[in-house]
A and B are shown apart, each in its own frame.
Chain A
């Protein structure tokens, strides 16, 4: 490296404070065999949670009388289960020495700020797909004005009042409008091609089912403009039929 490079004032690094969420494993007993077994069970519950997870080993809660801990063995055990030890929290003299020998940073004993975390037991491999849950339809009985948007997530949308131009109705299921419909209606927005739209008086700006749409310019030419209609998708063509 030349002299000129060393004189360059452009900073090479920046020190920043940061708060990271890190898993702390607090040992209650010096019993590696049982730890191996119990850790194995935990990992089986949530394998994704335990892959290359940074870990702080807390040895400060170990009872005094439980003998010297084999830190090296403990660390390789953790590693087998996908936990990577970053540092050790210890208060016993022996543990601190062992950690220093392994060149591991030693953190002071715990404050009272951590709370026990349990990897969510939710992702227990579902044996069969869950029954589709019936969500209640969303029912709107006051006018939907321009600029307003109504979304029925995972459900049908039923509107009993006029829908103004510039309003937008969205539903994962079907859309029913039992009043003049002058806004936009998008049924099956998550791709449900079986969704349908029902309008008592169709004067829509846009009708769409699962992404296949028609705009007002096309809809106006339809002889059913202003009539009660039923819109469905066949292939990628929107079918507008008299109700």
Chain B
């Protein structure tokens, strides 16, 4: 039986899709058969970040409506053997999804994969609700900024009360906090919330801290999940996060201001 992971946040633009792509790819890199599902119907982006936008034929809504089979709609990643993407529909809106339709697809995916990573849309409405409803674990993506923290807190409340596990009285969804766009320099200047502040407010397990990095934008534009860029700090941080997700104890990195050496100053950061 597969594990259903939802990547969610409440707030938009915090890095949900980047995280979904990175975590899903990381799981596949470690040998787990993984599918990443884009729930952002109408605003699909995952295919771009994964670099498979030219190969989308059928999408999520087609499968829900029975216009295509799941195997027709799954897009196989060109880099990794056991990684697949299920794209969202660009021409429809969130109302095209129904709970029954999503449940059918999730159940089918559960049988064929080890991990199903659901990339949630922003907000707390239908799309986001359906993305998290069937989840076993949740990665709550948060920026070190008060409004993002507040929205994540709201989302955590919904995960604890409006998911299938909550409604059936089963064991609650396991929650992980992923802090993205973290800039230690700005934290020391007091311009950004620190890791401890966010951890204290949200009171859930810290899965990882992803430093603000040029590599993320570059990777997005190239359609390569940033985790594949193992030279970059963000790629390494995502790699650590995947290890922690799989139960490994890995110390947190990139939390402190790096002293820049002369060479570094001369040749610039990567």
Chain A residues in 8 Å Cβ range of B150:
146, 165-166
A104 to B192, CA, bound (A): 82
- Taking a contact as CB atoms closer than 8 A, the residue among B153, B172, B201 that contacts A142 in the complex is B172
- Counting CB contacts under 8 A, is A145 at the interface? yes
- Counting CB contacts under 8 A, is B250 at the interface? no
11 A-B pairs, CB-CB below 8 angstroms? A143-B157, A144-B157, A145-B154, A145-B158, A146-B153, A147-B154, A161-B203, A162-B203, A164-B201, A165-B153, A166-B154
The 9 closest A-B pairs by CB, nearest first: A145-B157, A146-B153, A147-B154, A148-B157, A164-B153, A146-B154, A162-B203, A145-B156, A145-B153
Chain A residues in 8 Å Cβ range of B153:
145-146, 164-166
CB distance from B177 to the nearest CB of A (A): 13
Among A143, A147, A148, A166: residue with most chain B CB under 10 A: A147
CB distance from B138 to the nearest CB of A (A): 13
A144 to B201, CA, bound (A): 11
Chain B contributes a number of interface residues (CB within 8 A of A) equal to 13
Chain A residues in 8 Å Cβ range of B161:
148
Main SS class of interface, A = loop
CB distance from B200 to the nearest CB of A (A): 8
Closest Cβ neighbor of A142 among chain B residues: B160
Binding site for B on A (CB under 8 A): 142-148, 161-162, 164-167, 180, 182
Chain B residues in 8 Å Cβ range of A144:
157
CB contacts between A and B, total, < 8 Å: 37
Chain A residues in 8 Å Cβ range of B201:
164-165, 182
CB distance from A180 to the nearest CB of B (A): 8
CB distance from B231 to the nearest CB of A (A): 38
**Hey, what's the 0/1 contact readout for B155-183 against A, CB within 8 Å counting as 1?**
01110110000000000100000000000
Closest Cβ neighbor of A161 among chain B residues: B203
A162 to B202, CA, bound (A): 9
A145 to B159, CA, bound (A): 10
Chain B residues in 8 Å Cβ range of A147:
154, 157-158
Closest Cβ neighbor of B124 among chain A residues: A147
Closest Cβ neighbor of A144 among chain B residues: B157
CB distance from B201 to the nearest CB of A (A): 7
Closest Cβ neighbor of A147 among chain B residues: B154
Among B150, B157, B172: residue with most chain A CB under 10 A: B157
Q: In the bound complex, do residue B203 and residue A146 qualify as a contact, i.e. CB atoms below 8 Å apart?
A: no
A146 to B203, CA, bound (A): 13
Q: In the bound complex, do residue B172 and residue A143 qualify as a contact, i.e. CB atoms below 8 Å apart?
A: no
CB distance from A183 to the nearest CB of B (A): 10
A68 to B72, CA, bound (A): 83
A182 to B203, CA, bound (A): 13
Besides A145-B157, A161-B203, A164-B201, 17 more A-B contacts (Cβ < 8 Å) are A142-B160, A143-B157, A143-B203, A144-B157, A145-B153, A145-B154, A145-B160, A146-B150, A147-B154, A148-B157, A148-B161, A164-B157, A165-B150, A165-B201, A166-B153, A180-B200, A182-B201
